[in-house]
Structure 1
């Protein structure tokens, strides 16, 4: 069983305010579970969201030394 996090806990893990995870839930951009009237987000869903939206840096190749004229 995956650990279920509150919206406040998800906001703290993402380093955002509470509005951001609530918006993700409203737009159905993250998996969530309704327990009665409470909303919980599985820990793996937060990890999946972060990895899906992670942008890797572009590695530039060295072009060699350029000499000034």
Structure 2
């Protein structure tokens, strides 16, 4: 049983990008960078707000994702958007929320108004 060189399994190299071999969906080709729909049309034409997931927003603010979840229920957290079941945070809203929480000192009247626990020491 000798094999002939002409009977090799793949006489031509396989082109993984050819339509015959390309898979549909997110596993199309692992090494090719994925092109987003917004980048494919016009990458700089319409500057739209960037949305972050709960985990990404928590990492951006250096908070626990659970803290953001609690603040959505109780209140006092950054503005959020609901897209179906998904909760998303606009980057501009996160920056505005963080900017509202800047103080000069703990004796700042605005700080005392927002943090009732700070007035405990006076009682």
TM above 0.5, one fold? yes
Output the CA distance in 2 between the equivalents of 1:48 and 1:23: 19
TM-score, normalization by structure 1: 0.72
Runs of 4+ in 1 over 4 A off after TM superposition: none
Q: Between 21-30 and 40-49, report the one with greater CA deviation.
A: 21-30
* Deviation by residue 1:6-27 (Cα, 9 ceiling, x = unmatched): 0001111111211111122223
Q: Which residue of 2 aligns with 1:67?
A: none
Choose from 54, 68, 81 the match for 1:7. Answer: 54
Tell me by how many angstroms 1:38 deviates: 0.5
TM-score, normalization by structure 2: 0.43
| 1:1-69 correspondence to structure 2 within 5 Å | 1-29=48-76, 30-57=78-105
Structure scoring higher RCO (CA < 8 A, sep ≥ 6) equals 1
Output the CA distance in 2 between the equivalents of 1:4 and 1:46: 10
Alignment RMSD: 1.6
Q: Which has the larger radius of gyration?
A: 2
Count of paired positions: 58
Q: Unaligned regions of 5+ residues in structure 2, if any?
A: 1-47, 107-123
Q: Which has the higher strand share?
A: 1
Q: Unaligned regions of 5+ residues in structure 1, if any?
A: 59-69
